[in-house]
Every structure is written in C-alpha cells, then in structure tokens.
Amino acid sequence: MDHLAVLVVIVPLMSAPVCVLLDRSRPAWLTSLVAAWFSFGAAVMLLLRVSAEGPLRYSLGGWEAPWGIEFRIDVLGGYVLLIVTAVAALVMVFARHSVEQEIPHDRIARFYAALLLVFAGLAGITVTGDAFNLFVFLEISSLASYAAISMGRDRRALSASFQYLVMGTIGATFILIGIGMLYMMTGTLNMIDLAARLPEVSDSRTVRAGFAFLTVGIGLKLALFPLHLWLPNAYAYAPSTVTAFLAATATKVAVYALLRFVLEIFGVEFSLHAMPLDRILVFLGLLGILSGSLVAVFQRDLKRMLAYSSVAQIGYMVLGIGLASVTGVTAAILHVFNHALMKGALFLALGAVAYRVGAVTLREFAGMGQRLPWTTAAIVLGGLSLIGVPPTAGFVSKWYLVLGTLEQGLWLVAMLVLFGSLLALIYVWKLVEAAYFKPPPANAAAVAEAPLSMLVPVWTLVAANIYFGLYTDVSVGLASRVAHDLVGGGG
C-alpha cells in the first residue's frame, strides 16, 4: 500500500520505454491505457488514505529525508493527482481512434511514450516532497509535451512547439534559479524543511530574488497573463488528444506548484503580505480573465477559442489565490478541479468533431447540431459550465470566487469576474448558433456520429460537470479543507 505513492508515477514512467520497444500502435495504446487506469486507481486509494490518515511520507530507496528524496502526498497533492490521473484515464480511452487518424502510423508508439512521460511528470510533481525533484518532474513533463505537441497534423505545430519550448525553458530556468537560491540560504531541498527554515532568513535579498524567480517561472508554466503567449498556439496545433490532456492537467499542476511554493513553502505571511504578490495576482488574474475572454470572442478556430478561454480561466484561479482568504483559495482549488472537467469535456468533444470532420473552425461547425448531435450537445453543456450556468460545476466555482471577492469588499473585482462570464456567454453562443442555425456547408459529406470510445469519455466528463454542480461534498469539501490548511484556520 505504501508503495502506491511511488508506483503512481513509476508505472506510467516505465511504460513509456515499453511503448517504444513494442513499437506497434495497438499494444502501445493498450499499455498506456492500462498504465493510466492503474495510476487512477492508485490515486483514488491514495486520496482516500491521506484524507483519512493525514499526509503519507515515502522515502525513495529507503533513504531518509535530508539525504534521499522524499515523496509526500497530502490532501492538496492527492486532490490534484486525482484530477491528473482521472483525465489521463479518460483521455487514453478516447485516444485510440483519434491518434490513429492524426498521427502517422509509424510514430504512434513514440507518441504514446511521449504522452505517458507528460503524464508521469505531472503526476510526479503532485507527489514529490522535494523542491528539486519537482523541477525534474516539471522538465520531464515539459520536454515530453514539446515532443507531443510537435506531432500535430498542421505544420504550424512545429513552430508552436518551438515557441513553447523557448518560453517553457525560460520558465524552467527561472524555477531552477529560484530553487538554487533557496538552497543557498537554507541548505535543504525538502519542502517541509524549506518551509521551516525560510522564515529565519526571509528578510534577505536572496530569498526575495528567489521568490521572484520562482513565481515568474511558475507563471510562465501556468500561462499567467501576460506570460501566456505560448499557450494558444500550442493548444491549437497540438493533436486533439494532447490538447485535451494538457488543457485539463498541465496548467492545473502549475497552479498546484504555485500554491505549494507561495502558500506553503514561503507561507502566506511572506508571500502575500510582506511581498505584494496578492495584489499582483489579483491584478494579473483580472487582466487575464478580461483579455483572454475578449480575444476568445473573436477567434474563428475553435481550439484557439477554447485556448484563450483557458487563459481567462487560469485568471480565475490566480485571482482566487490572490484574495489570500480561505474562500478565495477554496475557489481557486475548486476551479482547478471544475475547469479540468469542463475543458476536458470540451477539448475531447472538439477532438471527436475533428475526427469526423477534419478541422474545427466556426465555418466547419455550421450545422453540426444535425451532423453530430451527441457531440454537439456535449459541447453545449460543457459551454454552459464554462459560462457558469447552474446547475453545472462552473456555477459553483463562480459562486465561491465572487463570495471571496465580496468578503473583502472588492466590488469592482466581483463585477469584472461576472462580466467575464458574460463574455464567455458570447463566445460559447457563437458556437451554438453556428451549430444549430447555419446549414451544413454545401460540400459537407454525410458523417456518422463519433465512435463510442470517444463519446463515452466525453459524456462521462459532461455528466461529471453536472454532478459536481449539484453534489459538492467531495470537490468543495476537499478544496476548503486544503484552503484551511494553507491559509490558516482563522483565515
């Protein structure tokens, strides 16, 4: 049972070379599927255990903490791990047909290997208790994702991937410099030790510089406005499977890293009060919400539209953290969960459309309501969740976020957040109108509804959007528990 903490990462990590060795598409897919579902099962068990018994500590290779690397899973890590593994499990089901169509046949096995590495890296970030190890996992996932993105059908995928590589590497370097500075001052890389020793030295320029490097670096990975420029291209040109997986997980893990460093290692007192990060995050979050939503309104390529919408949604999460209150952080963590559900559903559904129709621009989307009724209906429901219409998960996120802003009397911020929802209404409704009011293009071939292996994951996520809009014991319960731990019971 204890070993699950490490197996949840090791199994997908080791499955990657297995895929390469098998070098055939079907066995590679099967390996990935089994690995993802294994990790998902492990994540469920881990979360159940840590939420009942408290944090789980695991020393790699039996080397105790200051010398060896420690994995440490608490409720926050387990929660994000659950999101990552659940999305991975569903995406792998979806992947089979989509990948066979979008990736050249001889590269499919390597594609799955890359996808598994991304997955293993993201999962690793959430379980590790070591700052440097976190950097390593971040690099594993990032490097693998550059490769995965570049395999997109469109040739522009290459330049998108290169752009992401440049920005991502800068981010990673900043993070590394930041961690180096912390190590210099405290002599430890273990997160708990860091948190314990930092307050003594926090009044030094080195720690402050390290803090700045870390937050900017994470901000790049997070696609925090104005460091988001890599994201729209990367999401738009990546293979459908990769887009869905990254959109639902990669930025979420970056939010996790931000929470871990800013709120736990540096502590609320230092990060959000001594350093003015709270105001910066609120301000940048708002800018991200407004600019991302506005730009999304004018997109004609639907993947790009949703990518800009992601920039806006990241704004909501960052804004919640910037509020520095229990409610605000609850809203942020909750939105990590809910946004994974909605964007996962939407990008997978778009992937299904792409599978049947080819590209997905507004023009091709005309008449989609008749051509692919189930897929389109899923997109409409996912879109409603994105807007925050009750009873969807998006509504619950919005409620807590607005409550958080009103608690602090930030009227203008609350209004702007709601204005962002109305912008979402506009871009989602452009899609709905195209799908249901325009006749299909004249040269459109008759197509069958997407295969069941695609519809099932899509509708599972759609159902989850509605379920977690009504019954929030798990999603809100865990999020508020984590927020209490991070921000402190008093708030």
Partner 1 sequence: MTGELQLLLILLVPMLGALAVLAASPLPNVREGVSFVIGILLFLLVASLAADLSWDAPPTLVLAEPIQGLQLVLTPEPLGVLFALIASLLWPITTIYAMGYMRDHHEVNQTRFFTAFAVSIGSAMGIAMAGNMLTLFVFYEILSVATYPLVTHRGSVEAKRAGRLYLGLLMATSIGFMLPAMIWTWHLTGTLTFTPGGIFGPEVSSGVLSLLLLLFVLGTGKAALMPFHRWLPAAMVAPTPVSALLHAVAVVKAGVFTVLKVAVYLFGIDTLASIAAADVLMVLAGFTILMASVIALRKDNLKARLAYSTISQLSYIVLGAMLGVAAGAVGAGMHIAMHAFGKITLFFCAGAILVTAHKSRVSELNGIGRRMPWTMAAFAVGAVSMIGAPPVAGFISKWYLLMGSLDASHWFAVGVIVVSTALNTAYFMPIVYAAFFKPEDAPAISGQDDHDHPDHGEASWPMRGALMLTATLAILVFFFPGVPLALVQQMAGL
* CB closer to partner 1 out of 182 and 346: 346
* CB closer to partner 1 out of 56 and 342: 342
* CB closer to partner 1 out of 51 and 453: 51
| Closest CB 401 distance from partner 1, rounded Å | 10
Single out the residue of 19, 17, 14, 60 nearest to residue 38, CA to CA: 14
* CB closer to partner 1 out of 200 and 433: 433
Any idea what the Cα angle at residue 316 is, between residues 310 and 321, rounded to 5°?
130
**52-74: b (≥16 Cβ within 10 Å) or e:** eeeebbbbeeeeebeeebbbbbb
Determine contact, residues 134/71, Cβ cutoff 8 Å: no
* CB closer to partner 1 out of 207 and 312: 312
| Closest CB 400 distance from partner 1, rounded Å | 8
Q: How far apart are the first and last CA of the chain?
A: 35
| Closest CB 436 distance from partner 1, rounded Å | 8
Residues that bind partner 1 (CB under 8 A): 384, 387-391, 395-396, 398-400, 402-403, 406-407, 414-415, 418-419, 421-422, 425, 429, 433, 436-437, 469-473, 476-477, 480
The DSSP code for 221 is H
* CB closer to partner 1 out of 181 and 402: 402
Q: How far is CA 275 from CA 96, 205, 214, 280, in A?
A: 48, 12, 13, 10
Determine contact, residues 133/59, Cβ cutoff 8 Å: no
* CB closer to partner 1 out of 202 and 421: 421
* CB closer to partner 1 out of 293 and 421: 421
Determine contact, residues 43/81, Cβ cutoff 8 Å: yes
| Closest CB 48 distance from partner 1, rounded Å | 20
Determine contact, residues 318/388, Cβ cutoff 8 Å: no
Determine contact, residues 413/282, Cβ cutoff 8 Å: yes
Gap between the Cα atoms of 484 and 491, Å rounded? 7
Gap between the Cα atoms of 451 and 464, Å rounded? 20
